[in-house]
Structure formats: C-alpha cells, structure tokens
Structure 1
Amino acid sequence: MSLELAFELMMMLTSGCALLVSAWLFWRARNRRSMKALAGFGIMMALWCAGHVAVFYGQHGLGMALILANPLMPTFFLDFAIGFVNQGPGQRPWLGRLARYRGLLYAAAVLVSLLTLWQGGGDIIAFGPFEHYFVFRGSGWFNIGYTIFIGVLAHALLLWGFARQRGNRRRSIAAMFAAGAWGLLLATSFIFPSLGLLWYPWPMLLLPSYVLLLVYGVVRYQMLEVNAWANRALLWILMTGLLLGLMVLFSAMAGRLGMQALAAVPQWQLWLYSLLLLMLALALYQPVSKLVERLIYPGSRLDEQLLDTWLAQLRDADGWEALADAAQRLLARQMGQPVTVRLLTRPPLFEPSPGLELWCLHQAHGWQFRLRGFDDVTPGMRLTAEVFGSLLATRCGLLESSLQLAEAERKRVSEQHLVELGGLSAAMAHELRNPLNIISMATAGLEADRKAIIQDQLKRADRLIVDMLAYSGQLQIQPRPLALAPLLESLRPRFDWQQVSFDYCLPDNYHLYADPYRLQQVLTNLIDNALSFLRNHPDGRLRLEGGDTPGVLWLHNNGPAIEADMQAHLFRPFVTRRPGGSGLGLAIVQRIMEAHGGHIRHRHDAGWPVTFELYFPEEPTS
C-alpha cells in the first residue's frame, strides 16, 4: 500500500467516523443544544477530511473550499463549550448573553472562510508520495490563525468551567483536554508542508481516533449507552491485541532462538496453532471482560442473584406506599447513600431535592423512570440506578393492573349489593308506608299532644324510608357550571336556624361544575346535620368557604368536635351520633360526591372544631 493511499484511506475513515458519531449525537441530543453543536463539530471535521480526499482526486476547487471552511469547526466547538459549561446551578448571565449572540460567531467564521477562499488562501503542491497536497498561502494564514484563536478561546472557556464545575461535568472537561492534546499532536503535522517542511504527516494516520476519543470523553459521563459501547469495543480490542501479540511472540521466538523446525512448520500447522491461540483467547474472555467492566463501570456489582432479590422484594409490596418504601430501601443499600424514591401519577410541581432521587412517572405509554441528581455519580452507580429504575417501572405497571382489577371487583360487588339493597328498600318502602298512612289517619281524633308525638315519629319513619331509597338507588348526575352563592341564598329559608349564624366567603362569581339537584341535596344534608348539634350550642356558627383550589369547599361549624373513634366511620351507613338520625345522611353525601368524581373528608386542621372538605372536579375542557 502506497503512503498516499494510506493517507487517503485514513481521511475517508475519519470522515465516515465523524459522520456516524455526529448522526448518533444528533439523534440522542433531543433538546440538548450543546450536544447538537458537538454533532456540528463532527460534521465539519468530516467535510474537512473530505476536502483532502477531493484534492487527491483532482477536485481542487471543491477540496480547497472544504478545507478553508475549517473556522466553522472550532466555532461549533465553542458553541458546545458555552452550553456545556453554563448548565446546572450557578449559571452565569454573561454566558447566557454570549449564547444568544452565537449567530454572530457563525457569521464571522463563514465570512473568514469566504474571504480566504476568494483571496486564494491555499495552493496545491506535489511532494514525496503526494501528487496533490493542500498548503496554506497568503490569506490562508489568517484563516488558520482565526481557527486557532477560536479553538484556544473554546478551550479557555472549558478551563474556566473546570475550575467551577464539580462531579461528572468536571471529569468530562478533563477528558476533553486530554482528547484535545491528542488532536493537536495529530493535526500539527498537517501544517509542516505549508511551512516548507516537506515531511510526511505520519500522525495524521491516527486522526480517526481523535473524533472517537473526543466524543467519548464528552458524553461518557452523560450518556450511559456510550459506556456500554466502549465496554464492548475495548473488550474486543484487547482480545484481538492479545491474540496478535501471542502470534507475533511465537514467530519471533522461533526465529531468534534457532527453532528452525518451528520456522519450517507447514502452513496448515500454523493455522492449527492460530486455532489454539484463539481457544486460549476465548478462555481468557471472561476474566478480561470483568476487568474491562470494572474499568468502565467502577463500583458496579450487578448479577442475577441481586436482580432476583430486587424482584422478589418489590413483588412483595402490595401497595404504592409499601412499594416506594421497599424501593427506597433497596436502592439506598446498593448505592451506599440515601436515595429518595417517588411514585407519581403526574409530573410534580415541586422542585427536586438536592439529593439523589428516582421518579417513576405514570405516562400515556406506561410507567417510565427518571433519575434526578445522578449527574455527579460514577457511571457504575448510574448504571445500577438505571437497571433498578427499569425494574421498578415494570413493577409499578404490574401493581397498577393488580389494583385496578381489585378495585373493579370491589365496585362490581358494591354495585351488586346496591342493586339488591335498592330492590329491598323499594319493597320495604311500599309495605311500610301503607300502615304508616293508616296510623296517621287514625290520629285525627286524638288530643293535640298525643297527636303531635305520633306525627313526629311518623315523620321520622318517613325520613328514614326516604334516606334508604336515596342511598340504595341509582345516582344519575348531570353536572353543569353552577353559581354557588344564589343556591346558598335559596336554601336559607328551608332551615330552622334558631339563633345559629350562617355565612359564606366565596371568590367573586364562584362556580362549581355539579348537578344542581344533587349539590342541593349535599348541602341540605350537611347543614341539617350541623344544625342538629349547633341549636343547643351557645353562639353557634356555620361557615362555608371556597378553597384556594378550584372546586374545593370547606364547611365549618363550631359545634362539639367529632370523637377520634367516630372519625374513621363517619361515612358508613347507619353510623350516627345525632339523636334521632338515620345514619344515612353522610353516606348519601359521600355517594353523591363519588358520582361526581370528587370526594368528601373530615378535616381537623382547619382551625374549627368540625370541618368537612368537599372537592368537585373542574369542568372538562373538551
């Protein structure tokens, strides 16, 4: 192979590697502009190498245009450095302003390239094995000087960031400097012919390694996939080198030690020896693989036994709180430091805490995990968190399905029970009202006192029948936007307040999305229930407030507080502390709220002895 062909192949290989890496970076960058700028740097390097290949094939105009466009290469790298350094806490305003005017940097690079091309900033010469080789002339030195200046500026910015960054970002900057030193060493030989030193640019033959080392140094602490790729690549490089080294060793020793018999071995026997060496390499594969894994992922100890342990303990959790506690305990034990695990049905509104956090989010396409605060941990520890997060997300999906099935079965049994109770209640109402009507008519000739006592008991029995029918019947709601203040005013005349004060505090034009009849039923039951305790209470007060969240109402009263043992059973049917009550009022209210998709609960932290919180969902947007 001629030296010119070797140089040409290395330029093609560098161009191909740069294009592939840039395409992968651009695909993985998503919304990370700094990584897109690094992809642009790789594309410009690919075009720069393609310019040399074009010169070799006699396309001098195209080749010179691509080579003289090299100011764009450090400009992309400077754009990357600005975005890379100015991330995380402690962002600098002056870097933000510089980022906003990055378009001027690109415009300047294009202008320098066009001017030097127009002024004829390069020439094509022949020397050594090269028939066509590009050298700088005249204004081309300004081109290369501007390129060097922008490159120095980008690395100075990285040096400034190195002094201020911590953790993985600091490690990435150190890796960039190491790759930059290697690239400078390789590229220096390209300039020698322009200085009159007609030396073959041997270091340029290793230029493909610069692209890979630079990109790997940047993203090894940012993207876990790169480390997995490097793990496999380094493994096969070591294995191939080991095999070749052993073959060379045997060949060299045979000649130098006078092993003529070995030197005269037939060709088929050499193939047999190679096969034996290959088997030896396969035997060394496992220990070498473990060594490489420790180099790439230091501190990582993942095996099948550990994964089985994780799966078993996550599977034992039968609820969301238990699952979060188990996950937090397992991951913290493996990481050797505290880790917060959050299981969320929607993206949180709060800011993440400074420590390590693993979030499992329920999204449209299933459960997904996110890592927060893991930027500064080693790649091995991040790999551990990634694997654990994947297992936890899978377990969240299975637990959700299990709970949904259990809830569906509970609702089915409850609905079946209500159907049976509804039929029984309707039959009982019919059978009871007939004798009650007869008793009511029979009291017509009694004294007034006796008649009043009997009529009160008949009303109580009728109210119990009505409550049973309301609780056991099918609830059909037709929600619509409803102004609350007029409804409250219309309810005032219906109650015997007996010196109990009632007021409400609502935002202007306060609306609820609710069924008017059912909302009236809810308020009537709650107010009537409160009045039964407040009428005998001095300075009784009842107050309705609109909560800070839309659709939330708080109904307060200063009556006697609800006993602790009663609070857990408030909304169960036939449980009451009200004299003469049926025990169905709050149970009916709960059914109505659930039919709306809302809820009711007792609050003891609102500053009043008794507070009920009601929540009505907002009106759907579509």
Structure 2
Amino acid sequence: MSPDVAFELMMILTSGCALLVSAWLYWRARRRRSMKALAGFGVMMALWCAGHVAVFHGWERLGIALILANPLMPTFFLDFAVGFVNQGVGRRPWLDRLARGRGLLYLAALAVLLASLWLEGGGVIAFGPFAHYFVFQGIGWFNIAYTIAIGVLAHALLLWGLRIHSGNRRRSIAAMFAAGAWGLLLATSFIFPSLGLYWYPWPMLLLPSYVVLLVYGVVRYQMLEINAWANRALLWTLMTALVMGLIALLSAMAGQFGMQALANVPKWQLWLYSMLLLMLALALYQPVSKLVERLIYPGSRLDEQLLALWQQRLGEASSWSGLANAAAGLISRQMGQPVAIRFTPEGESAQALPAGPCIQCRHQPQGWQARLQGFEDVTPGLRLAAEVFASLLATRCGLLERSLQLAEAERRRLSEQHLVELGGLSAAMAHELRNPLNIISMATAGLEASRKEMIQAQLKRADRLISDMLAYSGRIQVQCQAIPLAALLDSLRPQFDWQGTAFEHQLPADYRLWADPYRLQQVVVNLVDNALAFVRNRPGGRICVEAGDRPGLVRVHNNGPLIDAELGERLFRPFVGKRSGGSGLGLAIVQRIMEAHGGHVRHRQDLGWPVTFELYFPEEKHS
C-alpha cells in the first residue's frame, strides 16, 4: 500500500469514527449542552479530515474551505469545557459571562474562516508521495494561530477545573489532558510542509485514535454504557490484530508446506477476508448466544428488567419476615410452584428444611451464603434462575443485617441519651424533694407515737421511690469479680421482714458469679423484696434460689400468684408492676443492671413454680 493511499485511508477512517461517535454522543446527550458541544467538535474533526480527502482528489476549493474551518473545532471544545467545568461547583460569575458569550466566539471563528477564504489563506502543493497536499499561506497563519489560541484557552480552563473538581469529573478532565497531548503530537506533523519541512506526516496515520480517546476519556466517567461499548471495541481490535498476525504468518509459511495457491494470495486480500469474517462473527454473536442459551437453558427468562424487579422488591423489605415473604413470592412466581425461604443468622442452628424446593441462606464467616434444596427435578433453565435469585438474596441478607445493626445501634444511642437526660432530671428532682421530706421528718418529733410512725412509714416509702428513680435513670457501670452467691444470700437475710416466708437456696458452696458486688446485691434485694410483697403472710409462702444448668445461670422462684400473660410482655418496663407499696421500678432496674453486665433477665412459668425470674451472667472474659 502506497504512503499516499495509507494517509487517505486514515483520514477517511478518522472522519468516519468522528461522525459515528458524534452521532451517538448527540443522541445520548439529551439536554446536556456540554456533551452536544463535544459532539459538534467531533463533527468538525470529521469535516477537517474530509477536507484533506477532497484535496487529494482535486476538489481543492472544497477541501481548502473545510481545512480552513479548523477554528470552529477548538471553539466547540471551548464551549464544551465551559459547560463541563461549570457543573458540580458553586456558580462562578465570570464563567457564567463566558457561557453567555459563547455565541460571540462562534461568530469570531466564522469571521476568521471567511477572511481566510477571501484572502486565500491556504494552497495546494505536491511533495513526496503526495500529488496534492494542503499548506498554509498568508492570512492562513493567522487562522492557525487563532485556532491554537482558542485551544490553549480551553485547556487552561480545564486546568483550572482540575484544581477545583474531584471524583469522576476530575478524572474526566485528566483524561482530556492526556488525549489532548496525544492529539497535539499527532497533528504537529500536518503543519511541517507549510514550514518548508517536506517530511511525510507519519503520526497522522494514528489520528483515528485521537477523537475516540478524547470522547471516551470524557464520557467514560459520565455515561456508564460507554464502558461496555469500549470493552467490545477493544476486544474486537485485539482479535483483529491477532487474526491479521496469524494470517501474515500463515501466508509466509504456506509455500514451505506445499500450499502454493495460498502463498500466492495477496496479504491484503487475506486480511480483508479475515476482517469481514470477524465483523460477521461480531454481528452474529448476540443472536447465536441467545439461541444457545435457549437450547442449554430452556424455560429461562432472565433479563435486566426481571433482575431489576427482584432487586427492587428485595430491597423494600425492612425485616427478616418481610424479606422472607417477598423472596418467597418472587421466586415462587418465577418457578411456577411454592418455594420456601429459610434464614439462619450467625450463632443460630440450622432449621429443619421443608419438603419441596427451598432456598436456605446461612451466615458464614465469609458472609451470607445461599444454598438450593429440593431443586433436583426442575429444568436447567429454572435452576439457573433460582441460582441467580439465591445470589441476589444472599447479598440482600448481608445488607439487611447491617441495616438492622445500624438501626439497633441508633436505638441504643437514643435510649442512652434519653437516660442521661432523665438522670439529670431525676438528680435535680431528688434534691428538691428530699429537702422538704427532711423538714417533714423533723416536724414529726413532737407528735404522738402512732401518728409519727404512720408519717415516718410514708416518708420511707417516698425516699425509696426517689432512690429507685435515681438507680433506674443513672448511668450503670460495673466492675466485675467472682462473687460467692451463697455467702451473699446469707448476708442479706437479716435485711428482710420474712413474716413466716421460707427462704432457701440450692447452691453449691463454691458457686460463684462474675458480677459487680454492689449491683448483684441490688438485683437480689429487688427480686426478693418483690417476691415478699406477694408471698409474705401466706400459708406455705416460699422463695428459692437455685443454680441453672449452665455456668452463670441463676433462677429465683416464688410460689406467689401467676402473672397475667399480657402483663408479662411489659413486666420489665417502668411503673408496670402491681405490687402494693412498690415504686414500679424494681424489675426495670434489674433489667438495666443485667444488660450492663452483658447478660439478661426473663420471666418463666414452665419450671414447676408459679413465678420464676431467670438471670444470666456471662462468664469471666480472659484477655
């Protein structure tokens, strides 16, 4: 292939690439003016390359006019740069004024073009392999100088945008600079003959890459679908280069293996046939791929719309039960039969799986994993759909778990904040209340014994209420150590008015709890005092403390009346208990103390006693 033909082919290829990219960009730009300006830049690049082709074929006036229109190229690019840089930042008055004056820039470019045509700013010469080649002359030098000045202004604006922007927009600007440097390197050789340097413009043969790299560098961070297109284009380019290399090697070695007819075929014909076959394979890839998928996976109907619907419906679930119901409905509709959904969070044992198709999601150390159960008899297509759905469901399980953890952490934060505020209020109220109570207590000194005893009893009750309120609303801190529980219970016996109630503990002598001594004493006193309010002075009244079936577990029983089921659900809330003379905070305080230890308390009626409170203290943690 002669050098002049190679140059002409590269100009045609550049023009075609620029027109295709510009048409696609304009179609995708919608209302984004900056992208439409970039499409205009591509159109002017296509016309500029077409001008060279026109000159080669002797259409000199048309070709010179198209080449001298090059001031419009940087003007379109400057228009793009203004709009691109002025997005995503605070409005800049000088940029707004420049944007409003873009029409004047286009008029100035047209004026330079008309002056260059009127005063013959270019001509045609012959040199080297070229019979017709464009060179600047006269006012044409002003034309190229103006073009360079507008290009410098556009890139200076981008340089300023590189400083103020971040993220994808900054990456786009950096890509523009890289593409601009590449384009400058390629286009420099075009002007050499105008300077009297009659060198063949080899770099111009790579010009098709400039417009593609420039537009791709800009939009790859703005329009995600362009990346998929670039992936296919790069794959096709690499396959073309590989096939052309193999064809060249085969042609060179064909004669040595007796394939003389193949060796005599011109290489360009082999390359042309190979490229046509590659293009045909590229065009047939999608329909053939779909046909093969239908043959291998009959009944499968997975597409982007279905996957988007699945993700949307699964994403709307805000609880495990809601997610299970949504997932079961979606996959059952797809499979045409009921499909069960089972979740196994971290730390829980696996549930028994039902008969029939089931998707089980389990929390593993590496994250949530989904497993299909009972899908042996379904078609390959439906099994593929179930596997894809299970993968989406496992991902959603991880997201929901983190969402619930964040919600629980926020709930605890608000609860702690509320308790801090309540603690401050309680401390202030306790101070204000105890002062008048002390005065009342002193005022009873001269009263008769019966009245004084009655008033003192009520004062003690009020003081107990204040103390419980402070204990509940204050911040609970624990300093744990090993406590012998039996010795603690024996030391507390004298504090209570048993009045015929039997109190016993069934604990080994060496039984110990890892707890805070003072807080553990509060828990025992509150539970025993609460039980005495119901069993004191009753025939056969009993309170019993025994060790549970695992370390750290203690149960406090009493044979008082059964607690109503509806009351049991709210038993540990403040001011819920029905104990006569109590503050209503005893059990709520017990729950707060147990939570501070990292344990829990619960009410049970299934252990052979009417009322049982079960306490769990975690074991000692060794560092």
Alignment TM-score, normalising by the size of structure 2: 0.52
Corresponding position of 2:499: 498
Q: Assess, with a 3 A threshold, how the Cα gap between structure 1 residues 448 and 586 changes in structure 2: closer, same or farther.
A: same
The question of whether the paired residues in 1 share the 8 Å contact of 2:499 and 2:537 is answered with no
Q: Assess, with a 3 A threshold, how the Cα gap between structure 1 residues 579 and 340 changes in structure 2: closer, same or farther.
A: same
Q: Aligned partners of 2:373, 2:485: CA distance in 1, in Å?
A: 44
Question: Once the 2 structures are TM-superposed, how far is the Cα of residue 323 of structure 1 from its aligned partner?
Answer: 1.9
Q: Does 1:562 align with 2:563?
A: yes
Q: Assess, with a 3 A threshold, how the Cα gap between structure 1 residues 430 and 486 changes in structure 2: closer, same or farther.
A: same
User: Secondary structure at the residue paired with 2:318?
Assistant: coil
Q: Does 1:577 align with 2:597?
A: no
The question of whether the paired residues in 2 share the 8 Å contact of 1:344 and 1:359 is answered with no
Question: Once the 2 structures are TM-superposed, how far is the Cα of residue 479 of structure 1 from its aligned partner?
Answer: 2.0
Q: Aligned partners of 2:544, 2:302: CA distance in 1, in Å?
A: 60
Structure 2 counterpart of 1:586, one-letter code: L
Structure 1 counterpart of 2:359, one-letter code: L
Q: Aligned partners of 1:495, 1:593: CA distance in 2, in Å?
A: 23
Q: Aligned partners of 2:594, 2:513: CA distance in 1, in Å?
A: 13
Q: Assess, with a 3 A threshold, how the Cα gap between structure 1 residues 538 and 316 changes in structure 2: closer, same or farther.
A: farther
Corresponding position of 1:302: 302
1:527-538 maps to which residues of 2 (within 5 A)? Answer: 527-538=528-539
The question of whether the paired residues in 2 share the 8 Å contact of 1:339 and 1:358 is answered with yes
Structure 1 counterpart of 2:567, one-letter code: M
Structure 2 counterpart of 1:400, one-letter code: E
Aligned sequence identity (%): 69
Structure 1 counterpart of 2:424, one-letter code: G
Corresponding position of 1:519: 520
Corresponding position of 2:326: 326
Structure 1, residues 351-386: CA drift from partner, whole Å, max 9, x if none? 766655534344555434344566776654443343
User: Secondary structure at the residue paired with 1:577?
Assistant: coil
User: Secondary structure at the residue paired with 1:530?
Assistant: helix
Q: Assess, with a 3 A threshold, how the Cα gap between structure 1 residues 373 and 518 changes in structure 2: closer, same or farther.
A: farther
The question of whether the paired residues in 1 share the 8 Å contact of 2:600 and 2:616 is answered with yes
User: Secondary structure at the residue paired with 1:614?
Assistant: strand
Structure 1, residues 206-263: CA drift from partner, whole Å, max 9, x if none? xxxxxxxxxxxxxxxxxxxxxxxxxxxxxxxxxxxxxxxxxxxxxxxxxxxxxxxxxx
The question of whether the paired residues in 2 share the 8 Å contact of 1:347 and 1:361 is answered with no
Structure 1 counterpart of 2:446, one-letter code: G
The question of whether the paired residues in 1 share the 8 Å contact of 2:339 and 2:359 is answered with no
Q: Aligned partners of 1:513, 1:374: CA distance in 2, in Å?
A: 50
Corresponding position of 1:261: none
Structure 1 counterpart of 2:543, one-letter code: L
Question: Once the 2 structures are TM-superposed, how far is the Cα of residue 499 of structure 1 from its aligned partner?
Answer: 2.3
The question of whether the paired residues in 2 share the 8 Å contact of 1:360 and 1:367 is answered with yes
Corresponding position of 2:288: 288
Q: Aligned partners of 1:537, 1:333: CA distance in 2, in Å?
A: 63
Structure 2 counterpart of 1:551, one-letter code: G
Q: Assess, with a 3 A threshold, how the Cα gap between structure 1 residues 277 and 370 changes in structure 2: closer, same or farther.
A: same
Question: Once the 2 structures are TM-superposed, how far is the Cα of residue 350 of structure 1 from its aligned partner?
Answer: 6.3
Structure 2 counterpart of 1:438, one-letter code: I
Structure 1, residues 95-114: CA drift from partner, whole Å, max 9, x if none? xxxxxxxxxxxxxxxxxxxx
1:254-403 maps to which residues of 2 (within 5 A)? Answer: 281-335=281-335, 336-346=337-347, 348=349, 356-371=357-372, 379-403=380-404
Structure 1, residues 518-569: CA drift from partner, whole Å, max 9, x if none? 1121121011111101125432232334333433333332222222332232
Corresponding position of 2:134: none
Structure 1, residues 492-536: CA drift from partner, whole Å, max 9, x if none? 332222222233445684433222221121121011111101125
User: Secondary structure at the residue paired with 1:554?
Assistant: strand
Corresponding position of 1:597: 598
The question of whether the paired residues in 1 share the 8 Å contact of 2:444 and 2:452 is answered with yes
Which has the larger displacement, 356-365 or 470-479? 356-365
User: Secondary structure at the residue paired with 1:301?
Assistant: coil
Question: Once the 2 structures are TM-superposed, how far is the Cα of residue 462 of structure 1 from its aligned partner?
Answer: 0.7
Structure 1, residues 123-179: CA drift from partner, whole Å, max 9, x if none? xxxxxxxxxxxxxxxxxxxxxxxxxxxxxxxxxxxxxxxxxxxxxxxxxxxxxxxxx
Q: Aligned partners of 1:550, 1:373: CA distance in 2, in Å?
A: 41
The question of whether the paired residues in 1 share the 8 Å contact of 2:328 and 2:338 is answered with no
Structure 2 counterpart of 1:308, one-letter code: A
What 5-or-longer segments of structure 1 have no aligned partner? Answer: 1-264
The question of whether the paired residues in 1 share the 8 Å contact of 2:445 and 2:452 is answered with yes
Structure 2 counterpart of 1:572, one-letter code: R
Q: Aligned partners of 2:313, 2:329: CA distance in 1, in Å?
A: 10
Q: Aligned partners of 2:380, 2:482: CA distance in 1, in Å?
A: 54
User: Secondary structure at the residue paired with 1:478?
Assistant: coil
Structure 2 counterpart of 1:447, one-letter code: E
Q: Does 1:425 align with 2:426?
A: yes
Q: Assess, with a 3 A threshold, how the Cα gap between structure 1 residues 481 and 305 changes in structure 2: closer, same or farther.
A: farther
Q: Assess, with a 3 A threshold, how the Cα gap between structure 1 residues 556 and 377 changes in structure 2: closer, same or farther.
A: farther
The question of whether the paired residues in 1 share the 8 Å contact of 2:501 and 2:541 is answered with yes
Q: Assess, with a 3 A threshold, how the Cα gap between structure 1 residues 617 and 320 changes in structure 2: closer, same or farther.
A: farther
Structure 1, residues 182-217: CA drift from partner, whole Å, max 9, x if none? xxxxxxxxxxxxxxxxxxxxxxxxxxxxxxxxxxxx
Q: Assess, with a 3 A threshold, how the Cα gap between structure 1 residues 515 and 389 changes in structure 2: closer, same or farther.
A: farther
Q: Assess, with a 3 A threshold, how the Cα gap between structure 1 residues 389 and 544 changes in structure 2: closer, same or farther.
A: farther
Structure 1, residues 396-418: CA drift from partner, whole Å, max 9, x if none? 23223322332233223222222
The question of whether the paired residues in 2 share the 8 Å contact of 1:320 and 1:343 is answered with no
Structure 1 counterpart of 2:425, one-letter code: L
- Higher Rg of the two aligned structures: 2
Corresponding position of 1:215: none
Question: Once the 2 structures are TM-superposed, how far is the Cα of residue 466 of structure 1 from its aligned partner?
Answer: 0.7
Structure 2 counterpart of 1:455, one-letter code: Q
Which has the larger displacement, 581-590 or 493-502? 493-502
The question of whether the paired residues in 2 share the 8 Å contact of 1:545 and 1:554 is answered with yes
User: Secondary structure at the residue paired with 2:503?
Assistant: strand
1:213-228 maps to which residues of 2 (within 5 A)? Answer: none
Q: Aligned partners of 2:488, 2:574: CA distance in 1, in Å?
A: 27
Q: Aligned partners of 1:482, 1:396: CA distance in 2, in Å?
A: 42
1:383-462 maps to which residues of 2 (within 5 A)? Answer: 383-462=384-463
Structure 1, residues 439-479: CA drift from partner, whole Å, max 9, x if none? 22222222211111011001001101111111111111012
Corresponding position of 2:222: none
Q: Aligned partners of 1:321, 1:396: CA distance in 2, in Å?
A: 12
Q: Aligned partners of 2:508, 2:338: CA distance in 1, in Å?
A: 48
Corresponding position of 2:551: 550
Q: Aligned partners of 2:525, 2:618: CA distance in 1, in Å?
A: 20
Q: Assess, with a 3 A threshold, how the Cα gap between structure 1 residues 603 and 310 changes in structure 2: closer, same or farther.
A: farther
Question: Once the 2 structures are TM-superposed, how far is the Cα of residue 347 of structure 1 from its aligned partner?
Answer: 6.0
Corresponding position of 1:160: none
Structure 1, residues 49-89: CA drift from partner, whole Å, max 9, x if none? xxxxxxxxxxxxxxxxxxxxxxxxxxxxxxxxxxxxxxxxx
Structure 2 counterpart of 1:320, one-letter code: W
User: Secondary structure at the residue paired with 2:513?
Assistant: strand
The question of whether the paired residues in 2 share the 8 Å contact of 1:331 and 1:339 is answered with no
1:85-234 maps to which residues of 2 (within 5 A)? Answer: none
Q: Assess, with a 3 A threshold, how the Cα gap between structure 1 residues 402 and 539 changes in structure 2: closer, same or farther.
A: same
Question: Once the 2 structures are TM-superposed, how far is the Cα of residue 280 of structure 1 from its aligned partner?
Answer: 5.1
Question: Once the 2 structures are TM-superposed, how far is the Cα of residue 307 of structure 1 from its aligned partner?
Answer: 1.6
Q: Aligned partners of 2:399, 2:478: CA distance in 1, in Å?
A: 33
Question: Once the 2 structures are TM-superposed, how far is the Cα of residue 267 of structure 1 from its aligned partner?
Answer: 9.1
Q: Assess, with a 3 A threshold, how the Cα gap between structure 1 residues 621 and 368 changes in structure 2: closer, same or farther.
A: farther
Q: Assess, with a 3 A threshold, how the Cα gap between structure 1 residues 563 and 595 changes in structure 2: closer, same or farther.
A: same
What 5-or-longer segments of structure 2 have no aligned partner? Answer: 1-264
